[in-house]
């Protein structure tokens, strides 16, 4: 962990409480956490441990019940929905387990989508250039005009990553990005994520797989809405090298 | 999202569900077309009736007998109060009256050769031709000389001509028998068609007033008096002058009721126009209801669309769309559906209208206002029925939308 880097995320005594059928349930119970710029943070934990709820709050998709969340030194809790939307648009990129690409649209249109929410900022030619650059980063520039249903799972997730990085975000939030993929494709995706991290993006990765968390520079483990472990991953693995070690046998099923 | 991209996105989304979009539009298309067609038929028939009534003669005034009440008992319709002296009185004293003619008539069987026909022979003054805008398409009209000589000459309408002269030979110069009296046909009247109240204006024989009065009716009373005012502005003045003259002629005291009725074409026209207006409004309301149903169809589909695309909306929210962006996108989709459907409805309406005119022979008049109104209504429907589903989508929480299965 590079402790000299700037603190980009700071969470103070964060609580998230849900009311369901007359009972109150706390998904997060007083979380305190800081993330430095350039980290590849893996949030781990069993189902129901609060890791996804936590990531949603960090991604400004949800609000904490009490506590403070400072992004880039600015408190996000008093912001209204529109202001939060603009924070997401300008600074965040999201990668979801089920890709969440728009159906019946091309890879190009999906990657272009975030740029459309910038009003008149990007013209048609600028958008085209940016989309092709992003698709190139994930190795899919020749699939730009393919409809999303014509792509494999791994390719769809790579389109989702291209969409997440198109606005040059400060933080990429990835919620179980490899959850629907086989091992080899998972390692492909993690190689791309590590590559983005090395180029300076901060990555917050939610996963329950140790294999995947091994590629992170820091592991935070959640249990019952509390952080039970927070340590740098000294044995951080390289996804590209790990993929090379996989037996050839898996090759034919790689493209799921 | 800027406005251009909003429209592009809306068109893309609608094209993706082409068939469904078209079916949604169908309600609006039918509604708009119905409004235009119904309005065109209503307006067309109103103009048609107006033209037919005007064909009776412009600035025409009709005086009919209206027997006064005697000891609370009215003598009833068809009573006789009007005489030729009333006509002479008006002729002498009313400056606003241009022409005036009595009419006296009787129904008779008419014969020519082996053909016979039942019709009405009416005696009128030559002024009647000016009042009713009558001219002879064949032969000539009778004149004051014929009147003085009580000539047995007549003019026949087209219907009488076809029935008495079915072979198409010219009737001019031929002698026909009206009842038992021979009349020489000196002319054929111009075609007048049906009147606004459905009578055949061509089923007539016109003869000099004196001939009919003296030779056939033998009564001092006339059936009805026709007059025309100098111009449209003086119709009112002519009516009051005619009333005054006839009252004087009938020696009515100031407390007595009129024993006659004076009607103008304007009165009749106003009555019929109000009826056709009601008809037009009725037709348009029925069509309007179908437009409303079409609008509800849009709302229904927009709700389905919002539900179906909940995850998509969640994704859009996650990558930086604001509630306003999501709302505008869905509103514009609804607006595009209704406006495109509106334009298609206008085109269909125009085609159907011209088909009705071409095939059924109805007179139709498409007004610009009906096109503008239905287009305006479409935009309002789009915004009104798109608003609620769009709001529902915009208020979705990104997390719930993303988790939606």
The pLDDT of residue A50 is above 80: yes
Cα–Cα dist B75/B98, whole Å: 32
Mean pLDDT across chain B, nearest whole number? Answer: 86
Assess B37–A contact: CB distance below 8 Å, yes or no. no
Which residue among A88, A104, A105 places its CB closest to the CB of B318?
A: A88
- B1–A167: do the CB atoms touch at under 8 Å? no
Contacts of A109 in chain B (CB under 8 A): 12
* Strands A7-20 and A66-71, sheet pairing: antiparallel
Residue B176 and residue B110 in contact, taking contact as beta carbons nearer than 8 Å: yes
Which residue among A85, A101, A163 places its CB closest to the CB of B317?
A: A85
Residue A189 lies in a domain: yes
Assess A64–B contact: CB distance below 8 Å, yes or no. no
Query: How far off is chain A from B20, nearest CA to CA, in Å?
Result: 15
Rounded mean pLDDT of B252-270?
83
Higher pLDDT, A5 or B190: B190
Which structure tokens are listed for B219?
A: 């009564």
Q: What pLDDT is recorded for position B241?
A: 92
Q: What pLDDT is recorded for position B74?
A: 59
The pLDDT of residue B282 is above 50: yes
- A85–B321: do the CB atoms touch at under 8 Å? yes
Assess B17–A contact: CB distance below 8 Å, yes or no. no
Contacts of A59 in chain B (CB under 8 A): 318
Residue in the block written with tokens 């109150």: A24
% of chain A beyond a pLDDT of 90? 66
- Within a 10 A sphere around the Cβ of B266, how many other Cβ atoms? 16
Residue A149 lies in a domain: yes
% of chain B beyond a pLDDT of 70? 95
Residue B366 and residue B275 in contact, taking contact as beta carbons nearer than 8 Å: no
- A81–B319: do the CB atoms touch at under 8 Å? no
Please give the ipTM for the structure prediction: 0.89
The pLDDT of residue A128 is above 70: yes
Q: What pLDDT is recorded for position B306?
A: 84
Residues forming beta bridges with residue B187, ordered by sequence position: B139, B155
Query: How far off is chain A from B302, nearest CA to CA, in Å?
Result: 18
Residue from B318, B329, B402 to probe the interface with A (highest A Cβ count within 10 Å): B318
Residue A227 lies in a domain: yes
Residues in contact with A85: Cβ distance below 8 Å, sequence separation at least 6, in sequence order: B317, B320, B321, B322, B323, B325
pLDDT band at residue B277 under the 50/70/90 scheme: confident
Assess B311–A contact: CB distance below 8 Å, yes or no. yes
Residue in the block written with tokens 């939606």: B404
The pLDDT of residue A31 is above 90: yes
Assess A61–B contact: CB distance below 8 Å, yes or no. yes
3-state SS class at A234:
coil
Residue in the block written with tokens 């995706």: A189
Which range of B11-15, B171-175, B189-193 scores highest in mean pLDDT? It is B171-175
- Within a 10 A sphere around the Cβ of A241, how many other Cβ atoms? 10
Assess B397–A contact: CB distance below 8 Å, yes or no. yes
Residue A197 lies in a domain: yes
Query: How far off is chain A from B343, nearest CA to CA, in Å?
Result: 28
- B319–A88: do the CB atoms touch at under 8 Å? yes
DSSP state letter for A238:
P
Q: Which helix H or strand E contains B41, and what residues bound it?
A: helix B18-54
Assess A124–B contact: CB distance below 8 Å, yes or no. no
Q: What pLDDT is recorded for position B196?
A: 59
Q: What pLDDT is recorded for position B11?
A: 85
Which structure tokens are listed for A72?
A: 């880039």
Residue A215 and residue A194 in contact, taking contact as beta carbons nearer than 8 Å: yes
Residue A247 lies in a domain: yes
**What range does the domain containing A128 cover?**
38-66+80-253
Instruction: Give the number of domains in chain A.
Output: 1
Cα–Cα dist A160/A174, whole Å: 10
With CA atoms as reference, report the closest residue to B229 among B97, B127, B139, B102: B97
Which residue among B5, B16, B324 places its CB closest to the CB of A116?
A: B5
Residue A12 lies in a domain: no
Sign of the alpha-carbon torsion through A115, A119, A124, A125 = negative
- Report A:140-169 residues touching B (Cβ under 8 A): 163-164, 167
Q: What pLDDT is recorded for position B393?
A: 86
Which structure tokens are listed for A54?
A: 């936590």
Q: Structural domain boundaries of chain B?
A: 3-52+271-403, 67-258
The pLDDT of residue A254 is above 80: no
Which residue among A61, A119, A167 places its CB closest to the CB of B318?
A: A61
Higher pLDDT, B58 or A184: A184
With CA atoms as reference, report the closest residue to B105 among B262, B216, B259, B220: B216
Residue B230 and residue B144 in contact, taking contact as beta carbons nearer than 8 Å: no
Residue in the block written with tokens 């091992």: A183
* Strands B97-112 and B175-178, sheet pairing: antiparallel
3-state SS class at B134:
coil
Q: Is B302 exposed, middle or buried (0-12, 13-18, 19+ CB in 10 A)?
A: buried
Q: What pLDDT is recorded for position B3?
A: 82
Residue from B308, B309, B320 to probe the interface with A (highest A Cβ count within 10 Å): B320
Assess B318–A contact: CB distance below 8 Å, yes or no. yes
pLDDT band at residue A180 under the 50/70/90 scheme: confident
pLDDT band at residue A69 under the 50/70/90 scheme: very high
Q: What pLDDT is recorded for position B119?
A: 93
Q: Among B76-90, B117-131, B348-362, where is mean pLDDT lowest?
A: B76-90
Residues in contact with A182: Cβ distance below 8 Å, sequence separation at least 6, in sequence order: A250, A253, A254, A256
Contacts of B402 in chain A (CB under 8 A): 61, 96, 100
With CA atoms as reference, report the closest residue to B237 among B340, B97, B116: B97
Cα–Cα dist A115/A128, whole Å: 10
Cα–Cα dist A62/A65, whole Å: 10
Contacts of B312 in chain A (CB under 8 A): 102-103
Rg value, chain B, Cα: 33
Query: How far off is chain B from A184, nearest CA to CA, in Å?
Result: 27
Which residue among B16, B318, B325 places its CB closest to the CB of A94?
A: B318
pLDDT band at residue B72 under the 50/70/90 scheme: low
Rounded mean pLDDT of B234-242?
89
% of chain B beyond a pLDDT of 90? 33
Cα–Cα dist B403/A208, whole Å: 18
Query: How far off is chain B from A24, nearest CA to CA, in Å?
Result: 19
Q: What pLDDT is recorded for position A80?
A: 92
Question: What CATH number does residue A117 fall under?
Answer: 3.40.50.300
Helical ranges in B214-264 per DSSP H: 235-249
Give per-residue pLDDT as tens, A80-93. 999 999 999 999 99
């Amino acid at each position: 962990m590079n402790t000299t880097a700037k603190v980009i995320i700071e969470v103070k005594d964060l609580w998230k409480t849900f009311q369901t059928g007359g009972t109150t349930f706390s998904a997060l119970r007083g979380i305190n956490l800081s993330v430095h710029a350039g980290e590849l943070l893996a949030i781990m934990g069993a189902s129901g441990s609060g890791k996804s709820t936590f990531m949603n709050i960090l991604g400004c998709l949800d609000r904490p019940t009490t506590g403070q969340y400072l992004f880039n030194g600015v408190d996000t809790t008093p912001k209204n929905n529109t202001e939060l939307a603009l924070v997401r648009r300008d600074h965040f990129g999201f990668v979801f387990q089920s890709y969440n690409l728009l159906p019946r649209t091309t890879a190009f249109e999906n990657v272009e989508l975030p740029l459309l929410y910038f009003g008149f900022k990007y013209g048609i030619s600028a958008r085209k250039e940016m989309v092709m650059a992003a698709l190139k980063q994930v190795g899919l520039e020749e699939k730009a005009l393919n409809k999303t249903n014509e792509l494999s799972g791994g390719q769809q997730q790579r389109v989702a990553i291209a969409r997440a990085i198109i606005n040059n975000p400060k933080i990429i939030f990835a919620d179980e990005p490899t959850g629907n993929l086989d091992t080899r494709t998972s390692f492909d995706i993690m190689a791309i994520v590590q590559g983005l991290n090395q180029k300076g993006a901060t990555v917050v990765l939610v996963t329950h797989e140790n294999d995947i968390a091994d590629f992170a520079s820091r592991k935070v483990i959640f249990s019952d809405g509390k952080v039970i472990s927070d340590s740098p991953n000294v044995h951080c693995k390289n996804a590209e090298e790990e993929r090379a070690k996989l037996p050839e046998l898996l090759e034919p099923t790689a493209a799921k | 999202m800027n406005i251009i991209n909003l429209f592009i996105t809306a068109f893309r989304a609608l094209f993706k569900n082409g068939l469904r979009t078209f079916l949604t539009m169908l309600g609006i298309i039918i509604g708009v077309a119905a409004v235009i067609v119904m309005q065109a038929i209503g307006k067309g028939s109103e103009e048609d009736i107006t033209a037919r009534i005007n064909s009776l003669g412009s600035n025409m005034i009709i005086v009919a007998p209206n027997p006064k009440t005697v000891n609370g008992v009215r003598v009833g319709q068809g009573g006789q109060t009007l005489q030729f002296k009333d006509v002479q009185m008006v002729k002498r004293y009313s400056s606003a009256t241009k022409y005036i003619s009595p009419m006296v008539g009787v129904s008779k069987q008419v014969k020519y050769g082996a053909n016979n026909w039942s019709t009405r022979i009416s005696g009128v003054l030559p002024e009647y031709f000016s009042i009713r805008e009558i001219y002879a398409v064949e032969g000539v009209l009778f004149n004051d000389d014929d009147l003085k000589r009580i000539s047995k000459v007549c003019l026949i309408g087209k219907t009488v001509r076809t029935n008495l002269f079915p072979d198409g030979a010219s009737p001019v110069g031929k002698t026909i028998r009206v009842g038992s009296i021979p009349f020489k046909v000196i002319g054929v009247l111009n075609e007048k068609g049906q009147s606004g109240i459905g009578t055949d204006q061509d089923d007539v024989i016109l003869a000099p007033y004196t001939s009919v009065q003296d030779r056939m009716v033998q009564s001092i009373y006339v059936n009805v008096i026709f007059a025309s005012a100098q111009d449209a502005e003086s119709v009112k003045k002519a009516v009051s002058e005619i009333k005054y003259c006839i009252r004087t002629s009938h020696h009515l005291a100031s407390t007595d009721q009129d024993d006659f009725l004076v009607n103008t074409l304007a009165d009749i026209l106003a009555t019929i126009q109000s009826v056709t207006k009601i008809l037009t409004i009725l037709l348009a309301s029925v069509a309007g209801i179908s437009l409303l149903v079409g609008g509800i169809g849009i709302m229904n589909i927009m709700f389905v669309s919002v539900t179906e695309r909940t995850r998509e909306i969640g994704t859009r929210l996650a990558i930086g769309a604001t509630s306003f962006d999501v709302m505008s996108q869905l509103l514009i989709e609804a607006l595009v559906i209704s406006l495109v459907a509106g334009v298609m409805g206008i085109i269909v309406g125009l085609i159907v209208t011209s088909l009705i005119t071409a095939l059924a022979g109805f007179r139709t008049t498409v007004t610009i206002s009906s096109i503008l109104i239905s287009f305006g209504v479409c935009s309002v429907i789009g915004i009104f029925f798109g608003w609620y589903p769009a709001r529902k989508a915009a208020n979705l929480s990104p997390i719930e939308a993303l988790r939606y299965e």
